[in-house]
Amino acid sequence: MQLYLPIAEVSVNAFVLLGLGGLVGFLSGLFGVGGGFLITPLLMLIGVPSGVAVATGANQVVASSISGVLAQFKRRAVDMKMGTVLTIGGLVGSTVGGYVFDLMGKLGQTDLFVQLSYVLFLGLVGGMMLTESIRSLRRVGAPKVRRGTVHAIVHELPFKVKFRASGLYISIIPPLVAGFFVGFLSAIMGVGGGFIMVPLMIYILGMPTKVVVGTSLFQITFVTAYTTLVHAVTHHTVDMMLALLLILGGVIGAQIGTKVGIRLKAEQLRILLSLLVLAVAVKIGFDLVLTPSELYSVTTLGVGR
Amino acid sequence: MRWLLLLLALALPLRAEEIVSGVSTSDVSIDTSFNGTAILIYGAAMREAPPPDWPLLQVIVTVEGPATPLVIRKKERVAGIWLNRGAVQIASAPSFYAVATTGELGDILSPKEDAKHHVSIPSTIEAIAGAEDEEAYVQALQRIREGTGQYRLAQNAVLLLRQSLFRTDITLPANLIEGDYRVRIFLTRGGEVVDMQENVIDVRKAGIERWLYNLAMEQPLAYGLLSLIMAMVAGWGASELFRRFRW
């Protein structure tokens, strides 16, 4: 069944979109990630213009993270205060990211910029997760969370604030910077940024694991909602029809993914996720290095694009 | 109906050789299930005196979508990585352009007439002068858009009967941009344009497509908020539904 998307102005198969949403939803349910890092490149692959893919990807992440954050609220696993500080940083970061994105567009380097960010950050996080989980698989018993030496520096900074739910008394600067950084990436990569935020919370901020997922989802919901609005107002690139189909496929996929995820061990899941993240990084990396079949590209400067 | 129009036209006084034509549709609405559409362009060459035996009458039909400015970029390898280096600005290029003819375009239309009427695909692309290998860029644009079906040259696709009646089908693709689509019909003899006629097909989004598009362009904040509400309701509602059923 072909469906004409009103904003993307392309006709795509509705079942392909449902399937795409379902696949990404399945993976996000399985691994507990938003899946933005998969949906944006996949949408571009099926012919959705990159601007629409980034903006609509953000809208889809809102849907997938809102149900997650509500579930975490019920389990009291959200540090509201920390989440708010991270969100403030995130909103500023997203605004700056959007500005840099436009600047790169004017220079004609959007694709390069987005691709390099994907290779760099997915490669870095995927590699770190893989080595970490292999190490913890080898270790007998429950894996312990290592807190790096950076954690000590965090304690030296001024403007200390109490974060009761996290049991922390730290400076407000590191969470603001972490939020800014993730918000920045969210705007240029069309992702929620959970894959960066979670390690930052554990290793840099030293937050206890029980509030990490809920708090990161809290921040992601607000930052991606803001990103969606910014794209809708300044670029008119949010395609509601596209988002609706992705979300419908996504919620069904996520439910199945969650069921399957329960049956797998946490270490196995982390290895699988790190391999998936690395695979995306390697694929995009190859695209940068291999000789493209078409050296030329066309960017329309028409209305609304 | 269309033959009636033809008969009516026959009764009117005519110039030496004049086009009487029709288009199967004057409006195309893009709704949710829009998957491209075929339009029929037909007509006849009307004349008062018997036509010359030579050169033969030829027909060219073009359909042209709204033009936009654009940038063509070329990748080069820098330190092992492919990145955009060169760029050429195009002042105006049609978003869709199809040419159907009764013969080889180069044979039935002289370069002078092509430059005057902008009939061939490259002649519709208006570059901003300056770049050194501008031609390679324009060729690339043509190649890319031919690949996506946005530009089409269908030689010998116009059926011409008894040097008078002609018809051709032109398929508008699924990834259509809305706007006025200009249909032009040229009669040529020996490369010279004898007569030309223009029609317009109005391509518009309809129904929910129209509504969403208008809202996104005219009330972007309301549209953005609506997208968020939709995402929240769908995300929360679906997980709630699954939880109720204890799936």
Among residues 124-183 of chain A, which lie with CB inside 8 Å of chain B? none
> Residue A301 in 3-state DSSP?
coil
If pLDDT is split at 50, 70 and 90, which confidence band does B36 have?
confident
CA distance B200 to chain A (A): 21
Band (B9; pLDDT cuts 50, 70, 90): low
Do A161 and A88 contact (CB within 8 A), yes or no? no
Of B31, B72, B235, the CB nearest to A247: B235
CA of A2: which chain B residue's CA is closest? B33
The C-alpha atoms of residue B245 and residue A16 are separated, in whole angstroms, by 27
Q: Do the chains contact at A4 and B239, CB–CB below 8 Å?
A: no
How many Å apart are CA A262 and CA A134, to the nearest integer?
20
Listed residue (A285, A272, A278, A297) closest to A137, CA to CA = A272
Mean pLDDT of A65-77: 81
Residue A274 has pLDDT above 80, yes or no: yes
Enumerate the domain spans of chain A. 2-289
The span from the CA of A130 to the CA of A53, in Å, is 28
Work out the pLDDT band at A303, boundaries 50, 70, 90.
very low
What are the pLDDT digits (tens) for B74-102? 988 888 888 888 888 888 999 999 999 99
A14 burial type by CB count under 10 A (0-12 exposed, 13-18 middle, 19+ buried): middle
User: pLDDT grade, residue B1 (50/70/90)?
Assistant: low
Q: Are strands B18-23 and A11-13 parallel, antiparallel or unpaired?
A: unpaired
Q: What is the mean pLDDT of residues B11-31?
A: 79
pLDDT top residue among B137 and A150: B137
A27-38, pLDDT tens digit by residue? 877 776 777 888
Per-residue model confidence (pLDDT) at position A305: 35
| pLDDT for the residue numbered B152 | 94
User: Using omega within 30 degrees of 0 as the cis cutoff, is the peptide bond preceding B55 cis?
Assistant: yes
pLDDT at A84 over 50: yes
Query: Which among A225, A241, A298 is the nearest to B141, CB-wise?
Result: A298
Which residues, 6+ apart, have CB-to-CB distance to A259 below 8 Å? A29, B247
Facing residue for A236 by CB, picked from B71, B220, B236: B220
What is the chain A residue with the closest CA to B78? A289
What residue in A sits closest to B66 (Cα-Cα)?
Answer: A302
Secondary structure tally for chain B: helices H, strands E: 7, 13
Collapsing DSSP to helix, strand or coil, B89 comes out as: strand
Judged against a pLDDT cut of 50, whether residue A240 lies above it is answered with yes
Nearest Cβ partner of B228 from A70, A228, A300?
A228
Nearest to A238 among B36, B70, B227 (CB): B227
Instruction: Count Cβ atoms within 10 A of the Cβ of residue A143 and give its class: 0-12 exposed, 13-18 middle, 19 or more buried.
Output: middle
Ramachandran class of B34: left when φ > 0, alpha when ψ lies in -120 to 50, beta otherwise: beta
Question: pLDDT of A3-14, one tens digit each?
Answer: 888 888 888 889
pLDDT at A292: 83
B175, A9: Cβ pair inside 8 Å? yes
With CA atoms as reference, the chain B residue closest to A285 would be: B81
Cβ B84–A111 below 8 Å, yes or no? yes
In this prediction, residue B121 carries a pLDDT of 93
In angstroms, rounded to a whole number, what is the distance separating the alpha carbons of residues B134 and B130? 8
Contact B209 A6 (CB under 8 A): yes
B231 and A112 in contact by Cβ < 8 A?
Answer: no
A13 touches chain B (CB under 8 A): no
State the Cα–Cα distance between residues B98 and B61, nearest whole angstrom. 8
For residue B203, pLDDT beyond 80: yes
Decide: helix, strand or coil at residue B127: strand
Is any Cβ of chain B less than 8 angstroms from the Cβ of A228? yes
Q: State pLDDT tens for residues B142-171.
A: 999 999 889 999 999 999 999 889 999 999
Instruction: Choose the CATH number for B2-205 among 3.40.1280.10, 3.40.50.920, 1.10.10.10, 2.60.40.3880.
Output: 2.60.40.3880
Record the tokens describing residue B234, joined without a space. Answer: 């769908």
Burial B162-182 (b: 16+ CB within 10 A, else e): eeeebbbbbebbbbbbbbebb
Reference B167, options B100, B103, B117, B114; nearest CA is: B100
Position B145 scores a pLDDT of: 93
What ipTM score was computed for the predicted complex, to two decimals? 0.82
Query: Domain-by-domain residue ranges, chain B?
Result: 2-205, 206-247
Per-residue pLDDT for A141 more than 60?
Answer: no
Query: Across A110-119, A294-303, B63-72, which has the greatest mean pLDDT?
Result: B63-72
